[in-house]
Every structure is written in structure tokens, then in C-alpha cells.
């Protein structure tokens, strides 16, 4: 039963998900799209949002290594009163996949689609004003459940201001967070850990690496090149 609850695609957990083509987020959200022609207020944060910025990743784990290109479109989508930046990605056989992520007031979130179903999960992967050891809790769906089972995510700052080498390039001002997904199976044990996701983000660059380990399934995404506008 547990293994059917949620195994997220590695690409998604790396912030850039595999939502269905041109579809919005999960039920209950009201979407209003508008062009964003203004400047980027977050260029020096851990996730730049300037229109035209792009990243190329190498993903591996559930499939043979693949190259994924993703870029900021300049469209902002309002989701229940919060502005999410639209991002499109392309992998072999999947073009112009639309995703969404949120960056504001030191909070970073993304939406992700499960491997087995079209259920979209919101991941709260960073609160950058916390010290090392600082923690936060997120609710992955509007109902607080996944496939009818209560769920939550726990985030933690593991490292700050470190250097990290990814695919031969060394990045500085890197922050390392870990998000654990938990389920309450109703067995009297409360919430139990079911998987972990490690994120490495470089200030002014964005995500440089993400590693997932869920039910023994491992996957990673690593930055190979990028352009910040």
C-alpha cells in the first residue's frame, strides 16, 4: 500500500515538474494568467525569476540519463492569491511542459505530479532566512491528504554558504536543504517518513542539484549549463 501512495518523478522533485501539457495545478486552484514584463526582484536569491532565464539539466535514476531544458516564460499564474512563475521544460518526447513555482518572502515552493497518477503535490523546499538546523512544515495538497492518506512535508536547512562541484563546475554561496515526506497510515504511529529529497541551490543561479530517495528508488538531477537574464 505504501509504495502506491507517492513516488515523484525525479525531474519534478528538482523543481521542474512533469505536469501535463498546458494544464494547471491541482483541483481547487483558480488560475489567472497574465504577462509579466516587469523586472526580476529575486535575481540575487536562490531561484532567479527573470524572463528568459534558462537551465539545462542531466536527469538520471528512473530512466537512462536525459537532458532537460527549462526556461522562465514571463507569465505569472495566480494560485489562491499567490503568484507562481510559469516555467516550460523540454525533454526527449515531451515538449513545452508547463510547471509552476513560487518565490517570495524567503519562501520557495514548487508543484509536482506523481508518477502513477495526475495528482499534483506542492513541495515547500526552502525557507532561506532560517539558520542551519531551522525547520518548516508544508501541506502537499489542499486536503492535506494524498490518495486519502494524511500527508505532510518537513523541511530543514542542512548547510549554508558552502561550495559544491556539480558536473565539473564549482558553485559558491550554496544552500542545502532536505525535505522529508511523511504519511499517517492510521496505525497509531503518527506520521512516518517515506522519502527524502535533497536540494542544492546556488545564490543567483538556482537549483544546481537535487537527489531523491523514495521507497528505495533513487534519482538525481544536475545542472549542466544556465543563462540568467
What kind of fold does domain 2-227 have according to CATH?
A: YmcC-like fold (2.40.360)
pLDDT tens digit sequence for 151-167: 899 999 999 999 999 99
Task: Output the pTM of the full model.
Answer: 0.81
C-alpha cell at 65: 540519463
Q: For the chain, which residues make up each domain, given as ranges?
A: 2-227
At 113 the pLDDT is: 62
What are all long-range contacts of 63-66, with beta carbons under 8 Å and residues at least 24 apart? 66/91, 66/92
* Distance between CA atoms of residues 181 and 5, nearest Å: 11
Q: Is the pLDDT of residue 223 over 60?
A: yes
Phi, psi of 13 (to 5 degrees): -70, -10
> Which bin fits 173, alpha (ψ -120 to 50), beta or left (φ > 0)?
left
Q: Is the pLDDT of residue 184 over 70?
A: yes
At 116 the pLDDT is: 52
Phi, psi of 3 (to 5 degrees): -70, -15
Among the listed residues 97, 108, 91, the one whose alpha carbon sits nearest the alpha carbon of residue 155: 108
Mean pLDDT for the chain?
78
Amino acid at each position: 500500500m505504501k509504495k502506491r501512495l507517492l513516488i515523484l518523478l525525479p525531474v519534478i522533485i528538482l523543481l521542474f515538474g512533469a505536469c501535463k501539457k498546458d494544464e494547471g495545478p491541482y483541483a481547487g486552484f483558480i488560475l489567472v494568467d497574465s504577462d509579466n514584463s516587469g523586472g526580476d526582484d529575486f535575481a540575487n536569491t536562490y531561484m532567479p525569476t527573470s524572463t528568459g532565464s534558462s537551465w539545462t539539466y542531466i536527469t538520471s535514476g528512473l530512466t537512462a540519463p536525459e537532458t532537460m531544458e527549462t526556461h522562465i516564460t514571463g507569465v505569472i499564474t495566480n494560485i489562491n492569491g499567490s503568484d507562481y512563475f510559469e516555467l516550460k521544460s523540454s525533454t526527449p518526447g515531451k515538449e513545452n511542459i508547463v510547471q509552476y513555482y513560487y518565490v517570495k518572502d524567503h519562501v520557495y515552493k514548487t508543484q509536482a505530479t506523481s508518477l502513477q497518477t495526475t495528482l499534483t503535490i506542492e513541495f515547500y523546499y526552502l525557507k532561506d532566512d532560517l539558520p542551519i538546523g531551522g525547520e518548516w512544515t508544508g501541506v502537499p495538497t489542499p486536503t492535506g491528504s494524498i490518495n486519502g492518506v494524511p500527508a505532510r512535508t518537513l523541511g530543514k536547512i542542512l548547510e549554508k554558504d558552502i561550495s559544491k562541484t556539480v558536473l565539473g563546475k564549482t558553485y559558491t554561496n550554496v544552500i542545502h536543504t532536505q525535505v522529508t515526506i511523511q504519511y499517517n497510515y492510521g496505525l497509531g504511529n503518527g506520521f512516518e517518513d517515506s522519502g527524502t529529497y535533497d536540494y542544492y541551490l546556488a545564490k543567483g543561479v538556482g537549483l544546481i542539484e537535487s537527489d531523491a530517495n523514495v521507497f528505495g528508488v533513487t534519482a538525481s538531477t544536475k545542472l549542466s549549463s544556465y543563462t540568467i537574464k
